[in-house]
Amino acid sequence: MNASALPILSIMLAIPMGAAIACLFARAETARLLALGATLLNLALGVWLWVSYDPAGAQWQFVESLQLFGPIGWKLGIDGISLTLIMLSVFLMPICIGASWHAIQKRVGEYMAAFLLMETLMIGVFAAQDLLLFYIFFEAGLIPMYLIIGIWGGAERIYASYKFFLYTLLGSVVMLIAMLWMIQTAGTADIPTLLNTDFPVEAQKWLWLAFFASFAVKMPMWPVHTWLPDAHVQAPTAGSVILAGVLLKMGGYGFLRFSLPMFPEASADFIPLVFGLSMVAVVYTSLVALVQNDMKKLIAYSSVAHMAIVTVGLFTFNQQGIEGAIIVMLSHGLVSGALFLCVGVIYDRLHTREINRYGGLSINMPKYALLFMLFTMASVGLPGTSGFVGEFLSLAGAYKVSTWATLIATTGIILGAGYMLYLYRRIAFGEQKNADAAAMPDIDGREMWLLAPIAAAVLWMGVYPESFLAPIRRDVATIVARIERAAPAGDSKLKANDPTTVKYRVGGHGEEKNKAEGSHH
């Protein structure tokens, strides 16, 4: 049966919403089961959605439209890019619930309700086809996340929750004004229509900057990334997973859905800005990560570095770079989520995030050390893991545009290997310095169930990325075609018949193949 016969997106929004309300009134044990059940059901629906999605079909599928709220249309629909991000969300949610099973003991019902509400809002962001509806989902996520960090977070949770809320809010409100201007000018809030509306080039600049203010904070890009380490460190484990796994992706999604196709000329004009900030971010945050003593902080800074590779990939204006950026987003969602879970596993046992308190865990926790190793390697970008595919594609795409940006961004991989391996060495190898750390039991069945699916997905994406590239290829091609008119000239074009390079060339083979593929799909 095909999922398009049902308003499946509305159902996927309604299930966690309903469960969230029920959780508020349920007792702790019931709330846990209810939340797990609802998220697993949504995962099943998500798989069904993925299977039913036709990569060669219409651009927008599972479309729903209802004029329920006057000027705000209840318009939902997804393309391949939304599909993959929705899959990421519904895949991570049951894992988050599982990760909080024992770790959260106070106010369980409210906690589960907040997470289920987050799930509704995340799916809503990726599925909304009305500008105002998108904004509502995008902003509404602040409330549950504020409560999650503030109620169940660490010692500095109040500062972190305020910073998270106000930073993101300030970024977003300016975007709202830009959205209102767009609706005013284009006469519609329908996203598919706006995607094909050409705004005046002069206005595009302002609009682009307004959207940039919001997405750069959400992403986060240097120098507005400072909320992220605080929020990550203070949030409970599952909160960090969802923050790193999905919420950061909203920034990238925003660039891809709004900034690029709606303001192509402005996007091209601001490439130096984006590349510049990304280059700084890669080097700076990697170096900062290298000197962290707090595990979560280290991973948080690594997130900023990885997201910088996403922004570089997105603003390459070519198929390879954008596809790569999307894969980095998916991969980072899985890998950083898994790394936060790995931190959570040992944090639950020793209640400290300080790296020096651990050591030699591969002796007493071999299974844990193995999984942690896998995710470390995936974060570094080892071939065979998801990290490699995304980073390679986006950097290859970036090379066509700017050699320098690629060169600097690539150092991120080397530095990434530096800080991740250093982290791994300090935790898993070496002497068992502390008796309490040495006495920790290996991961139990529940933790295995949390980490193993992510490990499988990471390897799947690394070995056979085609499963994830297939649904997005055509939609990326649509965006590329839309922004082609503003695409920047690359700085690494070869001369037509340069005798010094002619023997290395494959006769324009690559380009022809790309074209053939493009028309094929």
Shortest distance in whole angstroms from residue 34 CB to other proteins: 18
Cα(87)–Cα(72) distance, rounded to whole angstroms? 26
Among residues 136 and 470, whose Cβ is nearest to other proteins?
136
Among residues 151 and 448, whose Cβ is nearest to other proteins?
151
Cα(417)–Cα(381) distance, rounded to whole angstroms? 8
Among residues 124 and 397, whose Cβ is nearest to other proteins?
124
Among residues 147 and 451, whose Cβ is nearest to other proteins?
147
198: helix, strand or coil: coil
Nearest one of 375, 402, 212, 259 to 306, comparing CA atoms:
375
# binding residues, other proteins (CB under 8 A): 34
**CA dihedral of residues 163, 164, 165, 166 (deg, nearest 10):** 40
Shortest distance in whole angstroms from residue 183 CB to other proteins: 8
Q: Tell which one of 5, 51, 71, 499 touches other proteins (CB under 8 A).
A: 71
Shortest distance in whole angstroms from residue 216 CB to other proteins: 16
Among residues 202 and 431, whose Cβ is nearest to other proteins?
202
Binding mask 294-323 for other proteins (x = CB under 8 A): ------------------------------
Burial class (CB within 10 angstroms; exposed 0-12, middle 13-18, buried 19+) of 500: exposed
What is the DSSP-derived secondary structure letter of residue 4? G
Among residues 180 and 448, whose Cβ is nearest to other proteins?
180
Nearest one of 301, 395, 389 to 339, comparing CA atoms:
301
Among residues 25 and 449, whose Cβ is nearest to other proteins?
25
DSSP per residue, 344-374? HHHHHHH---BGGG---HHHH-HHHHHHHHH
Q: Tell which one of 174, 195, 421, 487 touches other proteins (CB under 8 A).
A: 174
Binding mask 153-172 for other proteins (x = CB under 8 A): ----xx--xx--xx--xx--
Cα(491)–Cα(224) distance, rounded to whole angstroms? 29
Cα(448)–Cα(371) distance, rounded to whole angstroms? 9
What is the DSSP-derived secondary structure letter of residue 54? -
Cα(409)–Cα(395) distance, rounded to whole angstroms? 8
Residue 140 as a binder of other proteins (CB under 8 A): the answer is yes
Among residues 123 and 307, whose Cβ is nearest to other proteins?
123
Nearest one of 516, 519, 296, 342 to 440, comparing CA atoms:
342
Shortest distance in whole angstroms from residue 113 CB to other proteins: 11
- Name the amino acid, one letter, at 514: N
Q: What is the 3-state secondary structure (H, E, C) of 261-286?
A: HHCHHHHHHCHHHHHHHHHHHHHHHH
Among residues 207 and 361, whose Cβ is nearest to other proteins?
207
Q: Tell which one of 49, 78, 88, 147 touches other proteins (CB under 8 A).
A: 147
Cα(79)–Cα(84) distance, rounded to whole angstroms? 9
Q: Tell which one of 131, 142, 298, 440 touches other proteins (CB under 8 A).
A: 142
Q: Which residues of 48-64 are buried (b: 16+ CB within 10 A; e: fewer)?
A: bbbebbebeeeebbbbb
Among residues 155 and 435, whose Cβ is nearest to other proteins?
155
Shortest distance in whole angstroms from residue 432 CB to other proteins: 38
Site for other proteins in 84-113 (CB under 8 A): 107
Site for other proteins in 175-214 (CB under 8 A): 176-177, 180-181, 183-184
Among residues 47 and 180, whose Cβ is nearest to other proteins?
180
Residue 143 as a binder of other proteins (CB under 8 A): the answer is yes
Shortest distance in whole angstroms from residue 445 CB to other proteins: 33
Shortest distance in whole angstroms from residue 94 CB to other proteins: 24
Cα(7)–Cα(354) distance, rounded to whole angstroms? 47
H-state helical runs in 141-270: 142-152, 157-186, 191-195, 201-218, 227-234, 237-242, 248-254, 260-262, 264-269
Piece in contact with other proteins (CB under 8 A), picked from 6-14, 129-137, 354-362, 478-486: 129-137
Residue 135 as a binder of other proteins (CB under 8 A): the answer is yes
Chain residues in the site for other proteins (CB under 8 A)? 68-72, 107, 132, 135-137, 139-140, 142-143, 146-147, 150-151, 157-158, 161-162, 165-166, 169-170, 173-174, 176-177, 180-181, 183-184
